[in-house]
């Protein structure tokens, strides 16, 4: 089973989803921008992925700066509370498989979570090669 916490507006998230599908999986999609987060959900995801709210905070293309979350004195608890109000603050995509949980940036890092990889050449949306014709990373 593969679960992806996905934002369809994010190119990295779309690339990760494409890698998962190309590997033959039908992932469970959680569009967290629409669905939001719960505090226990984030705490479990972050613990499993070895993240903290600060390391999982999306600082670009999010309201993090406007909300004052980039100041060194801001606590993880304050960031976590802001993430509940503003789901966009959580960096993505976060992928869960039997092999673990990971914030998959760059997108090809999802390969370490997949028991089977896509076959043949695979490219990101911007044309960068992820896998060559032999199914290996260049």
- Domain layout of the chain by residue ranges: 3-131
Confidence category of residue 100, pLDDT binned at 50, 70, 90: very high
Please give the class, per CATH, of domain 3-131.
Answer: alpha beta
Q: What is the pLDDT of residue 120?
A: 87
**Residue count of the chain:** 138
Predicted TM-score (pTM) above 0.85: yes
Q: What is the pLDDT of residue 135?
A: 82
The proportion of the chain whose per-residue pLDDT surpasses 90, expressed as a percent, equals 93
- Active site residue: 10, 80, 113, 131, which one? 10
10 is catalytic: yes
Nearest partner of 41 among 75, 5, 2, judged by Cα: 5
């Amino acid at each position: 089973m593969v679960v992806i916490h996905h934002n369809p507006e994010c190119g990295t998230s779309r690339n990760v989803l494409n890698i998962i599908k190309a590997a033959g999986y039908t992932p469970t999609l959680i569009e967290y921008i629409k669905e939001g987060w719960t505090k226990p959900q984030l705490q479990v995801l972050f613990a499993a992925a070895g993240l903290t709210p600060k390391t999982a905070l999306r600082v670009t293309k999010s309201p993090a700066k406007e909300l004052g979350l980039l100041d060194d004195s801001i606590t993880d608890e304050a960031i976590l509370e802001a993430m509940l109000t503003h789901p966009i603050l959580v960096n993505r995509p976060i992928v869960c498989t039997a092999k673990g949980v990971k914030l998959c940036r760059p997108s090809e890092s999802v390969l370490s979570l997949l028991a089977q990889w896509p076959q043949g050449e695979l490219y990101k949306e911007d044309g960068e090669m992820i896998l060559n014709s032999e199914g290996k990373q260049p």
